[in-house]
Amino acid sequence: MRILVTGGAGFIGSNFVRYVYKERPDWHITVIDKLTYAGNLKNLDGLDESRVNFIKGDICDEPAIEQAVADSDTVVHFAAETHVDNSIQGPWPFVETNVIGTYRVLEAVRKSDKRLHHISTDEVYGDLGLDSSEKFSEKSPYDPRSPYSSTKAGSDHLVRAWGHTYGVKATISNCSNNYGPYQHIEKVIPRNITNILTGIKPKLYGEGKNRRDWIHAEDHSSAVLAILENGKLGETYMIGADGEKDNKQLIQTILELMGKDPNDFEFVKDRPGHDLRYAIDAAKLRTELGWAPKYTDFREGLKQTIQWYTDNQDWWQPQKDETEAKYKELGR
């Protein structure tokens, strides 16, 4: 099996490459990644070059993606612009990579008749009420509310249409918020772990009441592999691990696990259009494909993640000042 992973030098893509490398020793993995600010070749350090090869390339570059797809048996498409705050400041790269890039990937798999799994997000369904117990499922209506989520929604629609019209052999998954090693320090968990490690107070947007449903990136990876191998073509699967927390609880747990006063954080300006709550019902994935998460104890997963950022300061230090300078301009 020759698998092509787009965006495999990013956070979840590299966790997936590492997972497949470990779980499927007879597979060959090719990563195609543009290495934007969010991609880092160090995320693939230590993997044997005879089993993993890397192409520095843009999924919007038609000949490059066509060739990479033609040389593989199956494609898992992670490459995207992913940070909501960036999408509010400058939406164009999101339209370009998430919509046009996905179009290029689809045309390439159509041309060489390859299997595709498309990685998407729960944010395409909009948000849920803070006090409701409702969860997103495969049947939830699309209602994206940020430039990021609207471009991911657009990419999902393209994938479905290419399956329906041209018979492209595709599946889609919509996952909740991921955490774990190799996540860029712009995102809430690594930002605030590294804030604490550098003597900066953790920052909570608005009143800290917004809720996210956390899953470890390794559990996301095992779910994607299960769908790739046993999912039904044309189907969508929700991925989530029942890890719902509000942002204040999250920051206080990080502070506590790092031996700090749980109230030693500060509130900052809210994100415009800030989605209130996401929560996932992953019953279809669990019952039809027999998938279950390994990281069921969030505190334990968070503890390991804190340890990873503590042990790997060389990995994130070079980006810390620039990342915080960008936030300072936004008042966040």
| Residues annotated as catalytic (active site), given as ranges | 122-123, 148
Structure tokens at 12: 């979840």
Nearer to ligand NAD, 13 or 301 (CB): 13
Q: Distance between CA 81 and CA 87 in Å, rounded?
A: 8
Distance CA 68, CA 5 (A): 10
Burial class for 272, CB neighbours closer than 10 Å (0-12, 13-18, 19+): exposed
In whole angstroms, what is the distance from residue 209 CA to residue 25 CA? 43
Per the DSSP assignment, residues forming a β-bridge with 268 are 205
Kindly state whether residue 177 participates in binding ligand NAD, applying the rule CB under 6 A.
yes
DSSP symbol at 136: B
Q: What does 118 bind: ligand NAD, ligand TDX, none (CB cut-off 5 to 8 Å by kind)?
A: none
Q: Which of 6, 15, 82, 194 binds ligand TDX (CB under 6 A)?
A: 82
Binding residue for ligand NAD, selected from 24, 28, 35, 249, defined by CB under 6 A: 35
φ/ψ of residue 77, rounded to 5: -105, 95
Beta sheet of 52-56, edge-to-edge order: 52-56, 28-33, 2-6, 74-77, 115-121, 170-175, 236-239
Q: How far is the CB of 36 from ligand NAD (least distance, A)?
A: 4
Closest to ligand NAD by CB, 34 or 135:
34
The residue number whose beta carbon is nearest to ligand TDX equals 121
Least Å distance, CB 34 to ligand NAD, is 4
Stretch that binds ligand TDX, among 153-161, 183-191, 257-265, 299-307 (CB under 6 A): 183-191
Give which of ligand NAD, ligand TDX, none residue 154 binds (C-beta under 5 to 8 Å, depending on kind).
none
Q: Which does 79 bind (CB under 5 to 8 A by kind): ligand NAD, ligand TDX, none?
A: ligand NAD
305 binds, among ligand TDX, ligand NAD, none (CB under 5 to 8 A by kind): none
Q: How far is CA 36 from the centre of its chain?
A: 15
Q: Which residues pair with 214 in a beta bridge?
A: 177
Q: Are 33 and 76 in contact (CB under 8 A)?
A: no
- With CA atoms as reference, report the closest residue to 21 among 54, 44, 39: 44
Q: Should residue 205 be labelled a site residue for ligand TDX when binding is judged by CB under 6 A?
A: yes
**Contact between 160 and ligand TDX per CB under 6 A:** no
Pairing type for strands 266-268 and 74-77 reads unpaired
Nearest-CA neighbor of 1 among 31, 30, 26, 23?
26
Q: How far is the CB of 229 from ligand NAD (least distance, A)?
A: 19
Binding interface with ligand NAD (CB under 6 A): 6-7, 9-13, 33-36, 38-39, 58-60, 78-82, 97, 101, 119, 121, 152, 175, 177-178, 184
Binding interface with ligand TDX (CB under 6 A): 82-84, 121, 123, 177, 187-188, 191-192, 203-205, 210, 212, 247, 271
